[in-house]
Structure 1
Amino acid sequence: MTDQEPTLTHDGKDYKIADLSDEAKNQLQSLQLAETEIKRLQMQLAMIQTARNAYQQALLTALPQDSH
């Protein structure tokens, strides 16, 4: 098994990360952090939406029932 150098692929072209400028490496790191944060927030949103749905159902069962 051979170790491959990490690469970045953009528009079908591969770039060795080790060969990138410091500026490009910093931008790549910022992009990765932003993507990680977006995923975390999406998971948090899903949990909150689930809780909201549970609260809504609990509210509906707590409302007075029509006796018509």
Structure 2
Amino acid sequence: MPNITINGKEYDLDKLSDNAKGQLSSLRIADQKIAQLQAEIALVQTARNAYARMVQKELEGVEPESGN
């Protein structure tokens, strides 16, 4: 008799319809994908920040165009 808590209420998984169980499975998969994508975003943001620092370092000593 595994239970699941949804919106603060506990439900017996065995008593849920097959449709509800399928929706819960899809919800778990969606949550896992969101977590994976958030990890990828963090990785890409870290790389972007490193590239931005490298560009700034390359621009040291370079005079900007006048009027900008």
Aligned to 1:9: 5
- TM-score of the superposition, structure 1-length normalised? 0.82
Tell me the distance in 1 between the aligned counterparts of 2:19 and 2:57. 57
Aligned to 2:49: 53
Gaps of 5+ in 2: 64-68
Across the two proteins, how many residue pairs are aligned to each other? 63
Cα deviation, 1:16-68, whole Å, max 9, x if unaligned, reads 1122100000000000000000000000000000000000001111115157x
Secondary structure of the structure 2 residue equivalent to 1:15? strand
Segments ≥4 residues shifted beyond 2 Å: none
Tell me the distance in 2 between the aligned counterparts of 1:8 and 1:25. 11
Tell me the distance in 2 between the aligned counterparts of 1:35 and 1:65. 47
Aligned to 2:40: 44
- TM-score of the superposition, structure 2-length normalised? 0.82
Tell me the distance in 2 between the aligned counterparts of 1:45 and 1:57. 18
Aligned to 1:23: 19
Identity among equivalent pairs (%): 43
Gaps of 5+ in 1: none
